[in-house]
Chains A and B, each alone.
Chain A
Amino acid sequence: MQPCPTYDKAQLRELASLVSHAAFKKLGNSTNQSTYIRRMKKSIGWDNTETAKPRCLSDLISYSYQILEQQYRHEYIYKNKLLNDFVMEYYAMDDTILLNEFRIGQSIADAVLINGTNKVFEIKTELDTPERLESQLNDYYKAFTEVYLFTHISLLDKYLSILPNYVGVLIYTEEGEVAQFRPAINNKEFLDASFMMASLRKPEYSRLVKELVGFLPEVTPVFYYRACLTVLNELPIEDVQSMYCHILKNRIDKQTNMYLTQGDLPSFVNFSFYQAKYNKKAYLTMINNLSKNLL
């Protein structure tokens, strides 16, 4: 069924909170979804819907998703589109990691893709403002060499006027497709090992050092961090960055990829599912919840 009614801002905001990573995560850990279903029915005005009603939870979410795609494109819609229509389209998932909310310096990158190349995606939806963009870009280039802005076509001119020429642009088209407006130009000028190290966990930065120089610093625990950083600072920054990307790729989760590419999941849940790294039990719980009959 095609959603047609229009909703007010408050309803859409409520609906957006139900179509999000935070909401979908819960689909994998409890079989009791009655509160979730009730809230969603309420915010789409279930009782007043005159067309054929969705039969199962999956259809209900899909219906809500379509409403949001048309009337309130929030961050989850962009992220999910990025994964489904760009990453899964052009990259082999077995050799690719898409990191969500990745902290670099004082900023958090919406998504970072690492394959043979590395790409940071900064999402600016129609609900966002350009605020902080400059400082965000500055932080991203400390650890990565390609940055893309992903925004709606209606905002293209606005962002082109403030973006440096080396930042690439992906657009969310009127038809709801992802198109590359211009590619990013590789920029290594601002790479900084301390930012890379800071974004890693201890076993990861230990491995980074070990892989690059063959040994770990022999110092007491309280000086370990600084000693590792000293080692990294003495190496050519491009070598450090390339090993850094290699180490981040170890976060690829084979099982998640298997479930994802198997195609039993509705596409609206893909991004959330990919981030949550479900085990088999959670995966089956989710599949089961989604097929729940509503009538």
Chain B
Amino acid sequence: MYFPYLRGKQFELIALRELAALPLNPNKIIPIVEPVKIGLKSISTALKVLKQFEVKIQLIVNPKVGQLVGKTDEIITFISEQIAQGIDNIIPTFLIEGDSDVVLLQNVAQDQGFDKTGYALIHMAPVRKLEELSKYSQDTTCLYNTIHINHVFALRRKFRVETLGILGDYFRKQRVNADYANDLDESFSSDCFYYRNEGFAVFSDYQSIGDSWIEGGMLPKAVVIHLTYRDPGQDEIRIHHFVSNTNDDTLDVAGKFYEALTKLVNFCNQLELKDSLAIKSFRDLHAREAFPGLGVVKKLSIMHHIELIQGLI
């Protein structure tokens, strides 16, 4: 199984909605969504669309970045409202970084009955109360234990094998967009080919965005499109960065997008990559010489990655 880890921003959620009709396979894909914006309307829209395809979302109830840090109560209320409306494809999910998260888990899970109806954990760091946590998860309905790759050795033995997942951050973020031109084609990850043999039920990643969190952003000088693809020669996912040519100012974003897009389309033709929904959209934008905005570019990148992985597992 694959858990794409997404921050609940507008274009990430639209990516999920538009992918749903692919259709997403509920036995292969369960997105993790960390809500980061006050007002959970766009999450509820995504849940509704995914529900039609029986795809679940692991909704983080204790986000660590964004506007909802510390607002667990709000998110819990949201989950109850959704369930009351028949939207039951939510798996309440807890980020575990410290002992206070363990306490929160136990309180919330018991209050809300998640200990029986099911919940999931994402282990970002080992905690002092590890034994207690381990026992709690084995005694209650803990569906998934996704472990950050840095702590796999210490933590995997503490949780039931059939619940184990591995979370890796494979995207190498550059300081500014133009810097992607220094390394246009990089290895991304081979987890999707090996995770089962290595004793995991699941693997997870942050797609072509990475774990690091930045609120807002500046207008970039260079436009970059990130595209993951399967290495034709071996079991590995690579990532290619398509960078615009004229990058000394923040002007003419549309023209720069077209420069990057032209490279992407040529690349897809050359490698004869299979058309994903996103690649089809990129081809269409290229043919029409249209510019949809940078948010849509990010959306298409995410959609492409999830579709690629679903086809490989």
Enumerate chain A interface residues (CB-CB to B < 8 A). 198, 220-226
Contact of A221 among B249, B251, B254 (CB under 8 A): B254
- Chain B residues whose CB sits within 8 angstroms of the CB of A198 once the complex forms: 249, 251
- Chain B residues whose CB sits within 8 angstroms of the CB of A222 once the complex forms: 254-255, 257-258, 289-291
Interface size class of B (residues with CB under 8 A): 10 to 19
A-B contact pairs, 25 of them (CB 8 A): A198-B249, A198-B251, A220-B288, A220-B289, A220-B290, A221-B254, A221-B289, A221-B290, A221-B291, A222-B254, A222-B255, A222-B257, A222-B258, A222-B289, A222-B290, A222-B291, A223-B255, A223-B258, A223-B289, A224-B254, A225-B251, A225-B254, A225-B255, A226-B252, A226-B255
A225 vs B252: C-alpha distance when bound (angstroms): 6
A166 vs B26: C-alpha distance when bound (angstroms): 71
- What secondary structure prevails in chain A residues at the interface with B? helix
Interface residues in B255-290 (C-beta closer than 8 Å to A)? 255, 257-258, 288-290
Query: Contacts A222-B289, A225-B251 given; 11 further ones with Cβ under 8 A?
Result: A220-B290, A221-B254, A221-B289, A222-B257, A222-B258, A222-B290, A222-B291, A223-B258, A224-B254, A225-B255, A226-B255
- Chain A residues whose CB sits within 8 angstroms of the CB of B249 once the complex forms: 198
A265 vs B251: C-alpha distance when bound (angstroms): 38
Shortest C-beta distance, A107 to chain B (Å), equals 12
Instruction: Using CB atoms, name the residue of chain B closest to A202.
Output: B254
Instruction: Using CB atoms, name the residue of chain B closest to A103.
Output: B250
- Chain B residues whose CB sits within 8 angstroms of the CB of A224 once the complex forms: 254
Instruction: Using CB atoms, name the residue of chain B closest to A197.
Output: B251
Shortest C-beta distance, A65 to chain B (Å), equals 32
- Chain B residues whose CB sits within 8 angstroms of the CB of A226 once the complex forms: 252, 255
Shortest C-beta distance, B7 to chain A (Å), equals 28
- Chain B residues whose CB sits within 8 angstroms of the CB of A221 once the complex forms: 254, 289-291
Enumerate chain B interface residues (CB-CB to A < 8 A). 249, 251-252, 254-255, 257-258, 288-291
Shortest C-beta distance, B246 to chain A (Å), equals 10
Instruction: Using CB atoms, name the residue of chain A closest to B285.
Output: A222
Shortest C-beta distance, B97 to chain A (Å), equals 31
A24 vs B245: C-alpha distance when bound (angstroms): 42
- Chain A residues whose CB sits within 8 angstroms of the CB of B257 once the complex forms: 222
A245 vs B251: C-alpha distance when bound (angstroms): 20
- Chain B residues whose CB sits within 8 angstroms of the CB of A220 once the complex forms: 288-290
A198 vs B258: C-alpha distance when bound (angstroms): 19
A221 vs B286: C-alpha distance when bound (angstroms): 11
- Chain A residues whose CB sits within 8 angstroms of the CB of B288 once the complex forms: 220
Shortest C-beta distance, B28 to chain A (Å), equals 36
Counting from the closest, the 3 A-B pairs by CB-CB distance are: A220-B289, A222-B258, A225-B252
With a 10 A CB-CB cut-off, give which of B249, B252, B289 has the most chain A CB atoms.
B252
- Chain A residues whose CB sits within 8 angstroms of the CB of B255 once the complex forms: 222-223, 225-226
Shortest C-beta distance, B12 to chain A (Å), equals 25
- Chain B residues whose CB sits within 8 angstroms of the CB of A223 once the complex forms: 255, 258, 289
- Chain A residues whose CB sits within 8 angstroms of the CB of B290 once the complex forms: 220-222
With a 10 A CB-CB cut-off, give which of A198, A221, A224, A225 has the most chain B CB atoms.
A221
A224 vs B251: C-alpha distance when bound (angstroms): 12
A221 vs B291: C-alpha distance when bound (angstroms): 6
Shortest C-beta distance, B210 to chain A (Å), equals 27
Instruction: Using CB atoms, name the residue of chain B closest to A198.
Output: B251
Instruction: Using CB atoms, name the residue of chain A closest to B292.
Output: A221
Shortest C-beta distance, B186 to chain A (Å), equals 27
- Chain A residues whose CB sits within 8 angstroms of the CB of B254 once the complex forms: 221-222, 224-225
A225 vs B246: C-alpha distance when bound (angstroms): 13
A221 vs B285: C-alpha distance when bound (angstroms): 10
A222 vs B252: C-alpha distance when bound (angstroms): 8
Shortest C-beta distance, B270 to chain A (Å), equals 22
Shortest C-beta distance, A233 to chain B (Å), equals 14
A223 vs B258: C-alpha distance when bound (angstroms): 9
A225 vs B223: C-alpha distance when bound (angstroms): 15
Instruction: Using CB atoms, name the residue of chain A closest to B256.
Output: A222
Instruction: Using CB atoms, name the residue of chain A closest to B250.
Output: A198
Shortest C-beta distance, B132 to chain A (Å), equals 41
- Chain A residues whose CB sits within 8 angstroms of the CB of B251 once the complex forms: 198, 225
Shortest C-beta distance, A37 to chain B (Å), equals 27
Shortest C-beta distance, A192 to chain B (Å), equals 13
Shortest C-beta distance, B285 to chain A (Å), equals 9
- Chain A residues whose CB sits within 8 angstroms of the CB of B291 once the complex forms: 221-222
Shortest C-beta distance, A204 to chain B (Å), equals 13
A221 vs B255: C-alpha distance when bound (angstroms): 8
A16 vs B252: C-alpha distance when bound (angstroms): 37
